[in-house]
Amino acid sequence: MKEIVCKLLVIGAGPGGYICAIRAGQLGVDTVIVEAVKAGGTCLNIGCIPSKALIHAAEEFEKVSHMASAKSPLGISVEAPKLDLAKTIAWKDGIVGRLNSGVLGLLRKARVKIVHGRAKFRDGKTVEVETETGVQVIRAETIVIATGSEPVELPFLPFGGPVISSTEALSLKTVPQKLVVVGGGYIGLELGTAFAKIGSKVTVVEATSQILPQYDAELVKPVAKRLADLGIRVLTGAKAKGLSGSALLIETAEGAEEQLAADKILVTVGRKPRTEGWGLDELDLDRAGKFLRIDDRCRTSMRGVHAIGDITGEPMLAHRAMAQGEMVAEIVAGKKRIWDKRCIPAVCFTDPEIVTAGLSPDEARAQGYEIRVGQFPFNANGRAMTMLSEEGFVRIVARADSNLVLGIQAVGSGVSELSSAFALAIEMGARLEDIAATIHAHPTRSEGFQEAALKALGHALHI
């Protein structure tokens, strides 16, 4: 097969890779992208998008179920709803399919050449791709590694049979009666919550002392309360030991052994960078732990080889990868760019949702800042009251000397949409006064943001 020679080769068409390729194409860089599975990567095919589809369907179903129980204060009553999960999954697949062809269309529009197959490095400038029609050799001046990450497997609970990863959980055709989730991080809780809402009896097994261990206890509290309301059993400090028939054997925090009966066991104990199968050993790139070591231009230790996305470290988030991809494309096109982002917002689509941007109070203190913190609860917010979801709060962390906003966190129903305001405030270098003096539309949950800033300044109006 005739060799392809190009200026930029991107390996992996996930959110990092495809953004990199599109931006490079826009800038007139002769670009090729290689994808082994489907354009869009984990995020679009088996991650963010399909999980949000399932979560939404579960939320809707739960709302109607609640009305059917005749407990709804809204005065609505309905007959008991039914769920056809196979149909839900088909709807989800439809969305994924639409976005999938959308990405391919955008790549084509940017004149990016797409090669389907598994790439393997031959050397730092040359890659072989096993395509359906044979081995395609691609030579490039610059190569971007965007191979992403994959779920971590527990050696004593290998995937297969009743043991599933998030990928399989998003394609189940029937609702498992008993679902055990191993790992109480955001993926496990998002999916566990969704399945509880559509009728599974869910148990979450978390090895540390707190679910969502990366968040502070205050942020997690409303989520823990809701899990309890939904009848989800949460076992913290408990360790999965292995399978016993179709039950999961665990050691509880007290040291006792217990068997958890399960139709499905969902293992969500984290994700690991995909460092195998594409010839990393041949390149011998420097590592930072299990990730590839990169500098502030996403350069690896080898000249002409960049890396972006999950393979480069935490936080493993699609929007971080996208920003890196865009930056690398501009660097390849000859622009001067360095990674100078001040925050990477993160959203946890639990019920209620959690948003974080910048530093938490503890992180800010640990970095040596004198801080002031303002927190405003949604039970004092009109819009939250009218939506029957008063749990949660907005919290702002600012420097005590200059009132410069260092971090913003929120937990509450629908707060994911506040993430843009939070991130913008931090990137713009906003002070508490900037947020406090900005008119926030009434009645919205965003008023909580303004009130939190006022609170930190010492003159909140609604509490």
Q: Taking contact as CB under 8 A, which single stretch among the options 15-23, 101-109, 338-346, 388-396 is the one that binds other proteins? A: 338-346
Q: What are phi and psi of 14, to 5 degrees?
A: -80, -170
* Nearest alpha-carbon partner for 348 in 202, 176, 152, 216: 216
Q: Given the DSSP bridges, would you call strands 113-116 and 346-348 parallel, antiparallel or unpaired?
A: unpaired
Question: Which of 217, 288 has the CB closer to other proteins?
Answer: 288
Region of 26-34, 39-47, 69-77, 124-132 interacting with other proteins (CB under 8 A): 124-132
Does residue number 335 form part of the binding site for other proteins (CB under 8 A)? yes
Torsion of CA 421, 426, 428, 434, to 10 degrees: 70
Buried b (16+ CB within 10 A) or exposed e, 72-102: eeeeeeeeeeebebeebbeebbeebeebbee
Among 26, 65, 72, 126, binds other proteins (CB under 8 A): 126
Nearest to 109 by CA among 5, 21, 41: 21
Q: Which of residues 342-361 bind other proteins (CB under 8 A)?
A: 342
Residue 134 in the binding site for other proteins (CB under 8 A): no
- Size of the residue set binding other proteins (CB under 8 A): 43
Q: Which stretch binds other proteins (CB under 8 A): 89-97, 228-236, 247-255, 275-283?
A: 275-283
Beta bridge mates, 32: 9, 113
Q: For other proteins, which stretch binds (CB under 8 A), given 46-54, 165-173, 198-206, 401-409?
A: 401-409
* Binding of residue 370 to other proteins (CB under 8 A): no
Q: What are phi and psi of 191, to 5 degrees?
A: -70, -40
139 is a site residue for other proteins (CB under 8 A): yes
Q: How far is 452 from 380, CA to CA, in rounded Å?
A: 11
Residues 4, 37, 137, 387: which binds other proteins (CB under 8 A)? 137
- For the CB of residue 336, give the shortest distance to other proteins in the complex, in Å: 5
Q: How far is the CB of 349 from other proteins (least distance, A)?
A: 26
* Distance in angstroms (rounded) separating the CA atoms of residues 202 and 176: 9
- DSSP state at residue 183: -
Cβ neighbours for 218, distance < 8 A, ≥ 6 positions apart: 395
CA distances from 386 to 13, 22, 105, 223, 445 (A): 42, 43, 42, 20, 11
Q: Does 403 bind other proteins (CB under 8 A)?
A: yes
CB atoms within 10 A of CB 362: 11
Q: Which of 116, 306, 440, 442 is catalytic?
A: 442
Q: Which is nearer to other proteins, 53 or 140 (CB)?
A: 140
Tell me: does residue 301 bind other proteins (CB under 8 A).
Answer: yes
The secondary structure element, H or E, covering residue 447 is helix 447-457
Binding mask 230-269 for other proteins (x = CB under 8 A): ----------------------------------------
Site for other proteins in 416-455 (CB under 8 A): 427-429, 431, 433-434
Question: Which CB atom, from 202 or from 346, has the smaller least distance to other proteins?
Answer: 346
Q: Is-contact 52 98, C-beta < 8 A?
A: no
**Catalytic site includes residue 440:** no
- Taking CB under 8 A as the criterion, the residue among 80, 303, 441, 459 binding other proteins is 303
Is there binding between residue 276 and other proteins (CB under 8 A)? Answer: no
Residue 286 within binding range of other proteins, rule CB under 8 A = yes
Is residue 135 within the footprint of other proteins (CB under 8 A)?
no
One of 229, 257, 282, 314 touching other proteins (CB under 8 A): 282
> Using CA atoms in the order 58, 62, 63, 66, what is the torsion angle rounded to 10 degrees?
180
From 347-355, 384-392, 396-404, 445-453, give the range in contact with other proteins by CB under 8 A: 396-404
Amino acid in the structure at residue 175: V
With CA atoms as reference, report the closest residue to 312 among 286, 293, 296, 295.
293
Measuring CA to CA, how many Å separate 191 from each of 14, 49, 55, 157, 272?
Answer: 22, 13, 7, 19, 19
- Under the binding rule (CB under 8 A), the answer on residue 402 touching other proteins is yes
Q: Strand 4-11 vs strand 134-145: parallel, antiparallel, or unpaired? A: parallel
Residue 117 contacts other proteins per CB under 8 A: no
| Catalytic residue positions, numbered | 442
Residues that bind other proteins (CB under 8 A): 3, 120-126, 128, 137, 139, 141, 279, 282-286, 293, 295-296, 301-303, 335-338, 340, 342, 367-369, 399, 402-404, 427-429, 431, 433-434
